[in-house]
Amino acid sequence: MDKKNALILNFTANTYHWGCYGTASEIYLSLVDRGYLVNWLDVRTTHSLAPTPATTQDFDDAKFVRRFFDANKPVYHALSQADVVVVNGEGTLHRLHTGPTNLLFLMYAARKFLGKPVHLINHSFFPSGDEQPNEKVDPLYRGVAAMLTRVVPRETASAAVIRRLGLKVEQGFDCLPRFITRHSVPPATTPAGPLVLSGGVNLTRETARAIAQAVTGTGGSGRRICFLTGAKSSPAQEDAATFALMLEVIPELELVDATSMKMWLETMAHASCVISARFHHTIAAAALGTPVVAFPSNTPKVEAICDMFKLHPPIPPTDPHFVEKTRLQVQSALNGQAPTVGETTRRTILDLAENNFSGL
């Protein structure tokens, strides 16, 4: 009869692509499983709040805190009424743009000024945008993370950054494989399946065309080649431009605009190979046992998950043999020679994902 209230900050289920839906929904469902009533503030709220702290001094300035919450009363009420604050960090926490600065401030204020337990889970953590130290941003990220109840990054590169900052960390993983397991989506990959491409937040025009060039002719005549996109709402705007660029190189390229999470997952489950610069597409394909050819994203998170999955590392677009290496990896997948995720690795990943919730 007496349930505690959990507030999810930076909820991503309703925007960008279905991978964000899956991982955020799994956080919601896992909290319900643990007996919580669950509220959330979505990622668009994170990015649209104002005033954004202009200096690190604003984080400890009681006048600024009061002005911020006076301007954002629904946020204040949601935080003050929560028994626990669960932060779905995902890929938001890098550099000091408006979104990450707002999220850092919300976590800090909830902990310091409102006295709430704050669990930062399911996140990547790259203050400088990569793994390198940065004297401008490191102190703020360190100061916020040091205040939190628990910090559970979703990949090893972020964990290494947090340890470099001298903080305690518990290794986790992204929650998308938990969602796939919860809903019993079966592996169905075959060498005869379609090639499935996706876009990426960091893809340039040149890289998109080079990927398409590498894929051309690898599957033989008659094989379907698809470009996978789709979201519950507010889909990734860059996908339309990427598809158009690839279509110029691959005239037979089909657009699969997934209208449901089930359709999105099954498209990758039945693929012969998923070729992707997106973090969650790579995770979903790997968790389903489908071969993956991966490319870097906007932070080192894809490199880290490929290492954790024991897959080939992402092929950097700066590699002078980029097209050749991409083509060889696709052909290896079609020949049944690409590394895929076995049961032992899958179980390890699921155990790490469980760590997101071990303190709740």
Read off the pLDDT of residues 172-220 as tens digits, 9 standing for 90 and up.
Answer: 999 999 999 999 999 999 999 999 999 999 999 999 999 999 999 887 7
Half-sphere exposure (CA, 13 Å, Cβ side) for 177?
A: 28
Let me know if residue 349 belongs to a domain: no
Using pLDDT thresholds of 50, 70 and 90, give the confidence band for residue 63.
Answer: very high
Domain shared by 264 and 321, yes or no: yes
Closest CA to 155 of 299, 341, 340, 284: 299
Domain shared by 158 and 191, yes or no: no
For 23-60, the pLDDT digits (tens) are 999 999 999 999 999 999 999 999 999 999 999 999 99
Boundary-marking domain end, from 138, 172, 206: 172
Six token digits for residue 68:
């911020």
For 209-255, the pLDDT digits (tens) are 999 999 998 877 789 999 999 999 999 999 999 999 999 999 999 99
Q: Is the pLDDT of residue 337 over 90?
A: yes
Let me know if residue 22 belongs to a domain: yes
* Cβ proximity of 162 and 125 under 8 Å: yes
Residue % of the chain over a pLDDT of 70? 100
Helices (H), the chain: 18-33, 43-48, 62-71, 73-81, 98-112, 138-147, 156-164, 176-182, 205-215, 238-249, 261-269, 279-287, 301-309, 322-334, 343-354
Averaged pLDDT, 127-133: 98
Q: What pLDDT sits at residue 221? A: 76
Domain shared by 306 and 241, yes or no: yes
Let me know if residue 357 belongs to a domain: no
Predicted TM-score (pTM) of the model is 0.97
Using pLDDT thresholds of 50, 70 and 90, give the confidence band for residue 1.
Answer: confident
Burial (0-12, 13-18, 19+ Cβ within 10 Å), 337: exposed
Averaged pLDDT, 310-332: 97
Burial (0-12, 13-18, 19+ Cβ within 10 Å), 222: exposed
Q: What pLDDT sits at residue 218? A: 86
Closest CA to 49 of 110, 100, 113: 100
Domain shared by 234 and 155, yes or no: no
Using pLDDT thresholds of 50, 70 and 90, give the confidence band for residue 286.
Answer: very high
Six token digits for residue 134:
């940065």
Q: What pLDDT sits at residue 217? A: 85
In eight-state DSSP terms, residue 275 is E
Let me know if residue 354 belongs to a domain: no
* Cβ proximity of 51 and 28 under 8 Å: no
Domain shared by 212 and 116, yes or no: no
Q: Is the pLDDT of residue 162 over 90?
A: yes
Boundary-marking domain end, from 124, 147, 172: 172
Domain shared by 83 and 123, yes or no: yes
Let me know if residue 348 belongs to a domain: no
Looking up tokens 């203050």 gives: 127
Domain shared by 152 and 15, yes or no: yes
Q: How far apart are CA 88 and CA 83, in angstroms?
A: 16
Domain shared by 96 and 149, yes or no: yes
Domain shared by 24 and 151, yes or no: yes
* Cα–Cα distance list, 124 to 107, 305, 325 (Å): 15, 11, 28
Let me know if residue 179 belongs to a domain: no
Domain shared by 38 and 114, yes or no: yes
Domain shared by 268 and 304, yes or no: yes
Let me know if residue 228 belongs to a domain: yes
Let me know if residue 358 belongs to a domain: no
We report the CATH number of the domain holding residue 264 as 3.40.50.2000
Domain shared by 29 and 164, yes or no: yes
Q: How far apart are CA 190 and CA 179, in angstroms?
A: 23
Which amino acid, residue 57? Q
Most distant CA pair in the chain: distance in Å? Answer: 67
Q: Which domain holds residue 193?
A: 185-342
Boundary-marking domain end, from 116, 148, 172: 172
We report the CATH number of the domain holding residue 120 as 3.40.50
For 69-122, the pLDDT digits (tens) are 999 999 999 999 999 999 999 999 999 999 999 999 999 999 999 999 999 999
What domain count does the chain have? Answer: 2
User: Over the chain, what is the mean pLDDT?
Assistant: 97
Q: What pLDDT sits at residue 220? A: 75
Q: What pLDDT sits at residue 176? A: 98
Q: What pLDDT sits at residue 284? A: 98
